[in-house]
Structure 1
Amino acid sequence: MSIRVLMFRKMPRLYGGMEADLLPQLGPLLAEARQLAFRQAGYISGETMRNVADPYEFLVISTWKSVEDWERWFANKERAEIEGKIDAVLGAPTEYRVYSYD
């Protein structure tokens, strides 16, 4: 049964509109994570959206063939390393929620 994983990320609000300074650090890390996910068994798709009401909040939705495929990906050391760098840039951990089709 396929699943969807919702990942919530919040960009910090920096003094003087310096948020744009984070994008050169964040963009390559997000691209690296996405490319690594593409190569994982069970990965189906992914998309990233920005909250219309709060442009500092992002939602990433990834679809996996099974919860076991997701769990293998989540346990992947390379993924964890990239995620750690992303969270360090954002200053907060990514929140994960896993949903199945019932």
Structure 2
Amino acid sequence: MSEIDAERTALIEGNLALVQHVVLQVAGHFPRHVDRGELARAGALGLVEAARRYDAERGVPFDRFAARRIKGAILDAVRAADWAPRSVRALG
């Protein structure tokens, strides 16, 4: 494993609890039938993406950067599973 891969793995493993934290924050905004496990899986993919894209030289703490990407990945997954486009939801 390369040094970069080891650093990314450490970031992911060290921030798995952040995924659950974000899931708990956003789950209250969705209907009960939305599976929290699915939200957590989408969030975990967001965490992996955050670890891959993170640039420490920008001065943003990883947890803040990752939380935003985790939430975005969760919202993307929910939108992809929704039958109605956002414009229709905005009308109702």
* TM-score bracket for the superposition, by shorter chain length: 0.3 to 0.5
Give the TM-score normalised by structure 1.
Answer: 0.34
Higher share of residues assigned strand = 1
Larger Rg: 2
Higher share of residues assigned helix = 2
Compare relative contact order (CA 8 Å, sep 6+) and give the higher one, 1 or 2. 1
Give the TM-score normalised by structure 2.
Answer: 0.36
